[in-house]
Every structure is written in C-alpha cells, then in structure tokens.
Structure 1
C-alpha cells in the first residue's frame, strides 16, 4: 500500500514538473525580461543582508567580517542607552504616521478628480504638471521650499506681511519642520501615485457605470459603489507596501531640510545613522539600528497584512 502511494505521489510530482516547464516555455520571453529585475534585487537587496552580522560584531574595516570580534547584543543595548534615541524613534514614527495620513490618500483623491474630467487634453496637461516634481531630487526640492518660505523675500512671507502680520522663519522653528517635510513629500510624490491609480481606474468595466446610471445613481454614488470598491485591491497593496517601509522615511528627504535650529523634531533614524555611522565611523552601532528598523517594519507589515486579509480579503500573500 505504501509503495502504491509513493508511486502516485511520484507521478503527481512529475506531472506538476512537466506542467511547470511547459508554462516556462510558453512564457519564456516574459521570464527572460524579468531576469534584470531579479538580478537587481538579488545583488542590491539580498546580498547586502549578509552585512547584518556587523551588528553583532565590534567591526573593524581592516579585520573584515571574519576576524572582527563578536560582541552579541552589545550594540543594541548601547543604542537604547543613548538618551537621544527615544526622541529620534518618536520623530520617525510621528513623521511616518503623518506621511501615511496625508500623503497616501492624496494620490487617490487626485486620481478620482482627474478621472472625472472629460476634456482629455486638459486632463493630460494637469497629469503631466503634477507628475513633474517626481523627477526632481530632494536637494532641488528643499532649495525651492527654502526660497518660497524665505523670511526675507519668500512669496509666503511676502503674503503674510501684506496681510499685516510679522514674517515667519519657517526653517528656524521646530514646530514647522514636520509640516514642511510632509507637504514637500505630498507635492513630490502625488503625481506618481496618481498614475498608478489612473491605470487601475482604466481597467474598470464602463458597463458598470452605464448600468448604475440607468438605475439613477449620480456621480458620487457611482464613485462610492463602483470606483472605490474596484480600486480597493490596488489601494490595499500600495498601503501594505508603504507600511513595510514605515520607518524608512528617507534620508535625503529629511536631511536636506534640517539645520541646527529645527533638528529637534526632524531628526529620524536614517539621519542619525548617517551622522553616527559615516561621520563617526560607528558601523556596528548603526547597523544594529538599521536592523532594528527593518525588523519593526517587517513586524508592522505582518500585522497590517493579517488585518487586511481579515477585513478586505486582499493581502500581499
């Protein structure tokens, strides 16, 4: 009986193997096209993960991985012994939370508004304009915001003084650091997210809208009953991907806006890693911080994915 079961399992595995190779031969062009992407992630994402062992060593660049002494969790303990670390983690959580609250829905709202435009040329022009900031570096974006918010000749302060109020030194006060970081992020990325949602909107069957219109549904009802439910899988995937990068707010996005006057509410884990790791050459400590950040992001992704699968039926896996 056991021999018969083994033969059945072997035949089943052979059939599945033949089906897999048949599928690969059929779509071999797509598999070949995916090779550069696979190599990119393997070389630049998976191979560098081996460097995480530095977090458990007293790493010496001359001794290398093999000869550097092991110290266990000493660097993790030292990380939390730093009195500034809790303020830095708090800043990272708060800024990332605000980014999700304001930045993530902005692309959805703009895509819905553009989708309602009937003049195609006008729609394309607006879409191009809002997408252009995505190609600008954060150095240029920070320079633009510094010029616009300048206390001497910035357009915002000129308007404030025209209204009869005193000018505001936005980059010299900690209370404006987070709003500037979030608003600049919305301006830079809203066009990219809009393209993704417009692509998803183009895949909705127009017959659904025609049937709803026959039933007397107005545009708002069609949006709530057809558009948003159809966009829900795309929204869920992009939201889960952003949750996975919750603590990875971006070094350039923050560092270019910081100065000694506004760093109290702007310093995040990435900027701290740069200052301690590269400027002070404490590679093991900053690797421990990076590993801690990645583990927190992975944990949040698992939780969000589980809740999404229970609530909406959509998830990453």
Structure 2
C-alpha cells in the first residue's frame, strides 16, 4: 500500500523527476560509476591480459615516495588556507548585501560578483597574470608609485599560495554568498519590526536575528568544505604553476594527473586518488558528528 502511494506521488511529480534526470545521470556517470574503477589501486594494470592482484603494493610505494609527503603537505596547507580564510568572506558579503536598501544597486552588485564564477580558470589565470605582471600589472604600478621595487608574485614561493587564495576568493565569494543571502531574505519582517520596537540597533539585529538564521547553512557548508579539504583545486594550480613555485603548490590532484595521465602509471595514481577520497569521507563524517555533539545540528 505504501509502495503504491509513493508511486502515485512520483507520477504526480513526474515533470520534476524528469528535470532531475540529467543531474542524476551526470553524477552516476562521472561520480558513482568511476568508484568501480577504484579497484585498480589493488591491481597491476595491463593493457593486454587480465590485471594481476597485488594487494597494498601501490599504497606502500605511495607512502614511501618522498615527493608524496611534500604533495600531501601542500594540499593540506592550501586547502586549510582556503577553508579558514575564504569561508567567512561570503558570509560577510551576504550580510553587506542584506544591508543595502537600494534593490537595483544590490542586484547590480550581485550580478558583478557572480560573473567570475562562470569563467574558466584559464581565463581567470590570464586576468591575474595581467593584474600581477611585474612590468604593467596594476598592483606593481601601485607598488612602484609608492617607491618600492616591482615584485613578481607568480614566481615567488613566498607569495604564490596567497595568489591562489586571492584568485579563489575573487572567483567564488559572490557565488558562495547566494545561500546565505537567500537565508537572510527568508527572515520574517516581523522579527525586524519587533527588534526596532524594542530599541534594537543594527548590530543587535545582525547578531541576534540574522546570524542565528545563518547558523545551519554555515555548519552545513563548513562540513562539506572540510570533506573537500583534500581537493586544493586541480584546474587552478595547473594554470598558476611554473617551475619556480611548483614545489610549493604541487598538490595531490596535480600529482595524480602527472603520474597517471602523463606517465601512464594508472594503478599508482588510482591508489593516490583513493587515499585522498577515503580521507575526505572520514573528514566529512567526523565533522558532522562533532557538529552534532557540540550544536545538535549537522549536515543532515
């Protein structure tokens, strides 16, 4: 009986389910089906003939490779910088947009801030190369105007990670603020009216009304971001890397790309990627349960 009622509800909402099909097909083809291929981490890959089971051979090789420890360290450092530096910025940006009284101006700011999200990292890297150029870049023109020598930020090991953080923030802050802005727009006007009647200032309204409504989205997004801490940004790093700074920004994804696709060591690269995926799952579950214990709210 229950099955029949579920089928009837599905049939009643068949248009919505049809709209969902392309998204489901994408995740099944590119995210679920490849999980089967992860078994290659435990086999010797052979183009001709059957693959030979070798157990944990490639994991032992992975952890005994000196470069992998450097790559793992770079991944964790860059991801942690992105997580803790960039995470609060969309929240502050959404709070700022929520304070605008001019609706047209707010929408214009939103549109401009969303645009970088739709650019590929090839285009973004080109923009930042021009922006940070030692000879004609806007930043170096300002530095020279202040009487200091020009800096080549893109080949400087001390600054390259900050370039990654700044370019990631420029690209994602506007887009990431959408969920927070939607939560702010969903707050009942009666709460604001009651606060004004009680003599509350704008600071009190933000801290006592707005931020509590943003708490659940903040916890959920933080947990998901922690789960992706092993993904430091393949496309971004590939476009910003060069021989001078590669030792500082070579991450697991670029290492897997180089070893697997360029050098053809498919089993070894699969082992590295499987290690990264398992750590990501463990981090998501751990952060979720910690959030449940501390705040009674998790990601689900």
Q: TM-score range by the shorter chain?
A: over 0.9
1:78 and 2:61 aligned = yes
Q: 1:56 aligns with which of 38, 42, 45?
A: 42
Equivalent positions of 1:28-107 (< 5 A) are: 28-63=14-49, 67-107=50-90
1:136 and 2:128 aligned = no
Higher gyration radius (CA): 1
Equivalent positions of 1:184-195 (< 5 A) are: 184-195=167-178
Equivalent positions of 1:163-182 (< 5 A) are: 163-182=146-165
The CA deviation string for residues 119-167 of structure 1, in whole angstroms up to 9 with x for no partner, is 1111111111111111111111111111111112211112111111111
Equivalent positions of 1:125-274 (< 5 A) are: 125-274=108-257
- Worse-matched range after superposition: 178-187 or 154-163: 154-163
Cα distance in 2 between the residues matched to 1:122 and 1:154:
29
1:7 match: none
Cα distance in 1 between the residues matched to 2:169 and 2:130:
18
Report deviation, 1:311: 2.1
1:289 match: 272
Report deviation, 1:249: 2.0
Report deviation, 1:268: 0.4
Cα distance in 1 between the residues matched to 2:67 and 2:76:
15
Cα distance in 2 between the residues matched to 1:230 and 1:174:
41
- RMSD between aligned alpha carbons? 1.4
Aligned residues: 300
1:316 match: 299
TM-score by length of structure 2 reads 0.96
TM-score by length of structure 1 reads 0.91
Report deviation, 1:302: 0.6
Report deviation, 1:20: 2.8
Report deviation, 1:225: 0.8
Q: 1:123 aligns with which of 106, 125, 133?
A: 106
SS in 2 for 1:248: coil
1:27 and 2:13 aligned = yes
Cα distance in 2 between the residues matched to 1:108 and 1:28:
36
The CA deviation string for residues 93-123 of structure 1, in whole angstroms up to 9 with x for no partner, is 0100010111111111000001000011111
Report deviation, 1:223: 0.7
Cα distance in 2 between the residues matched to 1:150 and 1:89:
30
Cα distance in 2 between the residues matched to 1:185 and 1:61:
39
Report deviation, 1:21: 3.3
1:3 match: none
- Worse-matched range after superposition: 192-201 or 254-263: 192-201
Report deviation, 1:211: 0.6
Q: Which runs of 5+ in 2 are unaligned?
A: none
